[in-house]
Amino acid sequence: MREEPLCAVRDLKKHYPITRGWLRREVGQVRAIDGVSFEVARGEALGIVGESGSGKTTAAHAVLGLEEPTAGKVRFDGTPVSERSGEALTEFRRRTQLIVQDPNDALDPRMTIGEAVAEPLRIHWLDDADRRRAIVADILERVGLSADDADRYPHEFSGGEKQRISVARALVVNPDLIVADGPTSALDARVRSEILALLDRIRREFDIAVLFISHDLDVVRRFCDRVAVMYLGEIVERGHTADVLNRPAHPYTRVLLSSVPSLDPTDRRLGRPLTDTVPEPSDPPSGCRFHPRCPAVIPPADLSVGDETWRAIARFRFAVQADELPAEAVPTARRDGGAHRDDEVTPATVRRAVGLSAELSDAAAERAVEEAAAAIAAGDVDAADETLAAAFPSVCEREAPEAVAIDSASAAVHDSESAADANPTATADAAGRTVRCLRYESTVEADPPDGSETGADAIDGSDDGSTER
């Protein structure tokens, strides 16, 4: 029988109201997380990655009970967090600890390190001051500091040492789950490796689960057993870290990986986003939320141009929508707020700037691109937006892909023969062509493939107790 996870998050939503006016009338909602599910097993390190605004920190705070969900449930050790009160809630707070990105936020400059590390003990159960002192001395040494450091103040320590103190503070109450929210983001590379090695050692030594929140895929690759990739409040891909990061299936994961400098920049399987603007969580795109940026967005069924041309058309369409046209395609009068007239921008200038200067083989597409370019040259971007939206619809903006399970990972799979073969729910579009982009969910049990390094194997920072002073 499968062991119950330490923490199980089901269909979690957190929406914040947007209010206006004296009466604070609700005019909309920021959908910070929108139907997220994941599990953390005992002793496991699960990474949640995504750009800022993806909802990963909100999800982490909901796990800790710091945010009340709009919908969905968080269960910890079998009991919904929302149903805990009194002693059960105090116990939950002891067993779940938070490490924040900036240790200065967690340390009171007027408290000695000993007082700061002992504080959770005092809050939770231990009144005996001598016993508290002994536990603090022991824990400081376990995180690579000295028992004598207990009498010093936070300003006497470096950033890396302060993060060690935060780890000691989390560890002192013997937790089962640590939520580490960007714990190495503010550190330089050497200290980052040391803190990762420390976290890895203590989680294995004490069998502690870690929910590791980060935007840094390289750090997640080195520390986490499994990873979930978030985009605009949704999990778009998940699986064993090696599976997801060595063979990313979702176009967004590929885009994230393409921004990691250590990876091969010539790897054409990785993508660049069509546009840089991350849509507002208060107004997420229809269908698949990634579609205005997705380099793999599915073309209209009746379009007959090659892949590269389609990508240029899609980039043009969504750059117009996001007001992200290259500067040379924008008439001066728009650039400088109407101070000057400019007639140097022509439809040909616009087409050259967006990589569509050659006449398209598809006559209808050619007409639409020419019409949109003429509208932009005339300063009417809204008309161009309407023309492109009408001429180049995508199934991706109409519907979110179906959720199905394939193999050992969970993602949107786009346009690959193997995915199409494995896809039990592939559907034909109006023209009878198979739409081969899916989003699917599964619980991943498979071992990482041989030769891929994740978790402790990949952590090269020595945690030998030496610290950076």
Contacts with ligand SF4 by CB under 6 A lie at 251, 288, 290-291, 294, 296-298, 396, 401, 412, 414, 437
CA 255 to CA 275: how far, in whole Å?
Answer: 11
Please tell me the total number of residues recorded for the chain in this structure: 469
The neighbouring-strand residues paired with 414 are 437
> Which pair of tokens denotes residue 54?
């993806």
Give the residue with the Cβ less far from ligand SF4, 369 or 438: 438
Q: Encoding tokens for residue 90? A: 């105090």
Q: If DSSP codes are grouped into helix, strand and coil, which group holds residue 105?
A: helix
- Pairing verdict, β 234-240 and 226-231: antiparallel
Nearer to ligand SF4, 137 or 396 (CB): 396
Cβ neighbours of residue 54 closer than 8 Å, sequence gap 6 or more? 230, 231, 232, 233
Could you count the other beta carbons within 10 Å of the beta carbon of residue 317? 27
User: What is the rounded distance in angstroms from the CA atom of residue 12 to the CA atom of residue 230?
Assistant: 13
> 3-class SS at 309?
helix
Minimum Å distance from CB 402 to ligand SF4? 10
The C-alpha angle with vertex 415 and arms to 411 and 418, in degrees rounded to 5, equals 80
Enumerate long-range contacts of 274-279, CB under 8 Å, 24 or more apart.
274/311, 274/314, 274/315, 274/318, 274/319, 275/315, 275/318, 275/319, 275/321, 275/322, 275/324, 276/324, 277/322, 277/324, 278/51, 278/53, 278/232, 279/232
d(CA 221, CA 219): 5
